[in-house]
Amino acid sequence: MEAAISPVPDDVEALKALVATMARRAEEAEQHAATVAAELANAHARESAIEAVIAHLKLQIAKLRREQYGASAERSRRLLDQMELQLEDLEADAAEDDLIAEEAAARTTTVTALERKRPARKPFPDHLPRERVVVPAPCSCPACGGDRLSKLGEDVTETLEVIPRSWKVIQTVREKFSCRDCEKIAQAPAPFHVVPRGWAGPSFLAMLLFEKYGQHQPLNRQAERFAREGVPLSVSTLADQVGAAAHALMPLYKLIEAHVLASDRIHGDDTTVPVMARGKTDTARLWVYVRDDRPFAGSDPPAALFHYSRDRRGEHPQTHLAAWSGILQADAYGGYNELYREGRDPGPVLEAGCFAHARRKFFELADVVSSARKKSRGQRSSMTYPIALEAVQRLDALFDIERGINGTAPAERIAVRQELSAPLMSELHTWLTAQVAKLSRGHDLTKACLYMLKRWDAFTRFLDDGRICLTNNAAERALRCIPLGRKAWLFCGSDRGGQRAAIIYTLIQTAKLNDVDPQAWLADVLARIADHPATRLDELLPWNWAPLPDAIAA
């Protein structure tokens, strides 16, 4: 049998040459991949910038037509508001893509980052007070070490900052010095801004984000308020800052996502969110997954994770939880069924029923107070069913037991549930089965009974696991911020705007769950995140966060 001929040479010098060639080819391939990625990022940034410009010109044309021909209907005013909101998201998209292209170009030597024409900003008003922060001058020349320094001048960088109910412009002065020995010029480095070459301070950015996503104030309304306070800023200028700030906060979003999906039990829910489409408004979805171990005295901090999707197809929660397994507390939405499938990879997801949803179906049929109110107003009231009233009373008995053990350890919760709740659940199953046998198949009461009977394993799972809550109210509370604001901000301007909203909602709601002031936390994080070590980024999470003076003292 002939020995196989090795393609690797035996000569040492030839081997060295081969290794050098392979290393050079690998380096060229890596550089080529980086170049392609940078060119693609530039193309995306150019496309976003063009879309923003087109939307801006359309808005200007619409305003000019309204001024020239007058308003034919109130609808035209609402249309202008819609265009303002759409432009807001497009400008933020362009700013975010511009940063991504700049980061990609920095990894190459042949591609130059796209220079986007940024929104023009007027100089800060002269009436705003200036606070000079002088960067200490060097004691010696950094080039030769000489101490004969002579001041040549100074560069002033103005940063717009906000203090509640007052405005100021911080002037960061960087003095220039020349060395009498070597004639070299020395100057301190430029101050950091969250937005590269930006002008907005971290407190101003935090206020902008919190007002928009936490207080439901769109940027066009914020701009009007700023103008009344003597600081005129355009919507495009503000949107540019929002997009860049969301990009800077993305690492914290990823850490919160990892924290939520590290839990063995989470709450899940979704709600509608209007999104701008061609000539109409589509109904998109915001999904939330909440980790909250406080009901069973867990030591891990609570957090809320938001995702955005254009529709409500089941593939979205399946994608969100693709690598997760555990106990999911949610409603009976069919899109979760694939998660509950046996043999699922990477592991099974166990369904835990929500008694609040089950009770709600009976309560609507037994709402005596609402019926009496409608009768007093002369309105037609719905029929009140004694069976529905009894079902509500049986479920309320379970809720009374849960109130007594809320916040206790899982073992204690299981013991109480086995002693008090298990008999009530057994009686409830027998009673529901008897009612279904007596009622017609299409009756609303039958549907309410079958809602629980068909998912009985999910509804009884809390008896054997002290970590499971009786309801999915944790997720519903986290979603409450969206319905509260829908009437104020009307809709998202684009899908990217919806995704950006999911990021900021995650940060704000997680801060609230941990009893942290979202605006103060965002301001401190935005001031520190750039030079904070990446390996210690978890120190900036709401449950680990301490304001900078406290952190220094510690």
160 Cβ neighbours under 8 A, 6+ residues apart: 124, 167, 169, 199, 200, 201, 204, 231
Higher-confidence position of 145 and 14: 145
Percent of the chain with pLDDT over 70: 86
Tokens describing residue 130: 């200036």
* Strands (DSSP E) found in 209-317: 265-277, 280-291, 303-309
Residue 14 has pLDDT above 90, yes or no: no
335 Cβ neighbours under 8 A, 6+ residues apart: 312, 313, 314, 315, 316, 317, 318
- 3-state DSSP call for residue 66? helix
pLDDT tier at 543, thresholds 50, 70, 90: very high
Provide the pLDDT for residue 80. 62
Task: Mark out the alpha helices in 214-234 (DSSP H runs).
Answer: 219-228
d(CA 551, CA 546): 6
Q: What is the pLDDT of residues 173-200, one digit of tens each?
A: 989 999 988 888 998 888 777 777 778 8
335 by Cβ neighbours in 10 Å (0-12 / 13-18 / 19+) ranks as middle
Residue 278 has pLDDT above 80, yes or no: no
Residue that the structure tokens 């009686």 belong to: 427
pLDDT tier at 74, thresholds 50, 70, 90: very low
Residue that the structure tokens 């998109």 belong to: 284
Higher-confidence position of 266 and 378: 266
pLDDT tier at 71, thresholds 50, 70, 90: very low
Higher-confidence position of 482 and 370: 482
Polymer length of the chain? 554
Residue 31 has pLDDT above 90, yes or no: no
Which run of H or of E encompasses 15? helix 12-69
27-36, 219-228, 265-274: least confidently modelled range: 27-36
pLDDT tier at 96, thresholds 50, 70, 90: confident
Q: What is the pLDDT of residues 362-397, one digit of tens each?
A: 888 876 545 545 555 556 655 668 888 899 999 999
> What distances in angstroms separate CA 293 from CA 69, 172, 232, 322, 513, one per listed residue?
60, 46, 46, 22, 11
Mean pLDDT of the 403-407 span: 91
Are 131 and 172 within 8 A, CB to CB? no
Residue that the structure tokens 């914020």 belong to: 222
Residue 352 has pLDDT above 70, yes or no: yes
Residue 77 has pLDDT above 60, yes or no: no
Single pTM value for the model: 0.75
Long-range contacts of 420-425 (CB under 8 A, 24+ apart): 421/462, 421/463, 422/463, 424/394, 424/397, 424/398, 425/398, 425/459, 425/460, 425/463
CB atoms within 10 A of CB 7: 6
Q: What does 299-313 look like in DSSP terms, one character per residue?
A: -SPPEEEEEEESS--
pLDDT tier at 7, thresholds 50, 70, 90: low
Residue 434 has pLDDT above 80, yes or no: yes
In this structure, the dihedral spanned by the alpha carbons of residues 31, 37, 39 and 45, taken in order and rounded to 10 degrees, is: -150
Provide the pLDDT for residue 73. 41
pLDDT tier at 75, thresholds 50, 70, 90: very low
Average pLDDT along the chain? 84
d(CA 517, CA 203): 13
Mean pLDDT of the 140-162 span: 86
Tokens describing residue 378: 């002369």
Provide the pLDDT for residue 368. 53
426 Cβ neighbours under 8 A, 6+ residues apart: none
d(CA 494, CA 485): 17
Provide the pLDDT for residue 291. 96
Tokens describing residue 381: 């009231």
Residue 247 has pLDDT above 70, yes or no: yes
Provide the pLDDT for residue 246. 92
d(CA 523, CA 115): 28
Higher-confidence position of 93 and 417: 417
Parallel/antiparallel/unpaired status of strands 185-187 and 265-277: unpaired
* Separation of first and last alpha carbons in the chain: 74
41-55, 158-172, 244-258, 374-388: least confidently modelled range: 374-388
28-37, 212-221, 432-441, 514-523: least confidently modelled range: 28-37
Provide the pLDDT for residue 92. 80
Residue 34 has pLDDT above 50, yes or no: yes
Mean pLDDT of the 335-362 span: 90
- 3-state DSSP call for residue 387? helix
- 3-state DSSP call for residue 327? strand
d(CA 456, CA 430): 12
Residue 167 has pLDDT above 50, yes or no: yes
